[in-house]
Amino acid sequence: MITFYVILFGLLIGSFLNVVIYRFPRGESIAFPPSHCPKCDHKIKPWENIPILSFLFLRGKCSACKTPISLRYPLVEALTSLIFYATYLKFGLTWDLPVFALFGALLIAIAFIDIDHMIIPDSMIIIGLIPGFYLWISRDGQMLTPQLIGLVGLGVIFWAIRYFGEKAFKKEAMGFGDVKFAAMAGWVLGWDVGIVSMFLAFLSATLLFTILIPIGIISRKQEVPFGPFICVGIWLGLMWGREIINWYLNTFMVV
């Protein structure tokens, strides 16, 4: 039953995230007006707003004007529920569960907003600092030094990538939002897991580009947001970063 409620709550949060992703970067209220079709302004009925099931029942179309509903809506809901379930498996019924499950939901919102608008809102980065304060307090201050080093270190590294990349390529190589986002990751994860996360971010971007560029989905000159890859790196680091570090040390650093 616990698993069921965790997944259900993830679906509900995912439904809310769809509203945040659409409205927040447009400066609209996430509470009012109630959910409606952006095409015909049809007010969404409660039974039309059930995560995933309503999309299937409506066959992916607005019940009023039959405008297709983006597949992203059930995708975000399913992804959020998966994040919640994975967090439950990792941390169990502890205070870590709600803190990091909601942190994962925040990463989903940041990723899709960056995909749509090429921005990472400062307010979301500030909210993303909260799990770092939670770790600082709940771990009796043991994380503070690694967190401070991560905050400054990753921020400086990404600022350097941005600065020297712009000098080398004569154009913006990385948005300043990415720099602040990386610093936030260092504060939450600490410098060691933070470095692993950023490595995973660059690795995931490289692998995706290796696939998409040759088949023509994106071009070499196309501007692509890096925020979603940072989100992937942060999440993988949060879930398995320490295990990756231990594996690396045991495999390559054995004397």
Same domain, 245 and 182: yes
Q: Output the pLDDT for position 39.
A: 82
pLDDT for 196 beyond 80: yes
- Rounded average pLDDT over 37-58: 88
- Predicted TM-score (pTM) of the model is 0.93
Residue 188 lies in a domain: yes
Q: Is 99 domain-assigned? A: no
Clarify whether residues 135 and 250 are in a common domain. yes
To 5 degrees, how large is the angle CA 87–CA 234–CA 69? 75
170: in domain: yes
Q: Which residues pair with 61 in a beta bridge?
A: 68
Please give the average per-residue pLDDT across 81-103, as a whole number: 96
pLDDT tens digits along 214-244: 887 777 777 889 999 999 999 999 999 999 9
CB neighbours of 111 closer than 8 A, spacing ≥ 6?
227, 228, 231, 232
Structure tokens at 57: 């029942």
Name the DSSP letter for residue 61.
Answer: B
Do residues 41 and 86 both lie within one domain? yes
Q: What pLDDT, on the 0 to 100 scale, is given for residue 40?
A: 87
What is the distance, to the nearest Å, from the Cα of residue 91 to the centroid of all Cα atoms in its chain? 19
Task: Give the mean model confidence (pLDDT) for residues 45-68.
Answer: 90
DSSP code at position 154: H
Q: Within a domain: residue 244?
A: yes
Residue 30: inside a domain, yes or no?
yes
One domain, residues 68 and 172: no
Question: Which pLDDT belongs to residue 217?
Answer: 76
Let me know whether 9 and 135 are in one domain: no
106 in any annotated domain = no
Rounded Cα gap, residues 151 and 193, in angstroms: 12
Say whether both 86 and 158 belong to one domain.
no
Mark which of 37, 58, 93 sits at the end of a domain: 93
Cα-Cα-Cα-Cα torsion 109, 113, 119, 121, nearest 10 degrees, comes to -40
Q: What is the DSSP letter of 44?
A: P
Do the Cβ atoms of 33 and 130 come closer than 8 Å?
no
Q: Which of 104-118, 162-176, 208-222 has the lowest mean pLDDT?
A: 208-222
Q: Are residues 79 and 137 in the same domain?
A: no
For the cut 80, the answer to whether the pLDDT of residue 173 exceeds it is no
Q: What is the mean pLDDT of the chain?
A: 92
Residue 197 lies inside a defined structural domain of this protein = yes
State the pLDDT at residue 81.
97
- Residue 99 clears pLDDT 70, i.e. is over it: yes
Q: Is residue 72 located within the same domain as residue 129?
A: no
Residue 40 or residue 90, greater confidence: 90
Could you tell me if 77 and 123 lie in one domain?
no
Q: Which domain holds residue 8?
A: 1-93
Q: Are residues 244 and 130 in the same domain?
A: yes
Do 127 and 243 sit in the same domain of this protein?
A: yes
162 shares its domain with 252: yes
Per-residue pLDDT band for 254 (boundaries 50, 70, 90) equals low
- Domains of the chain: total: 2
Alpha helix (H) residue ranges in 36-95: 53-57, 72-91
Q: Specify if 246 maps to a domain.
A: yes
What does the pLDDT look like over 146-168, one tens digit per residue?
999 999 999 999 999 999 988 88
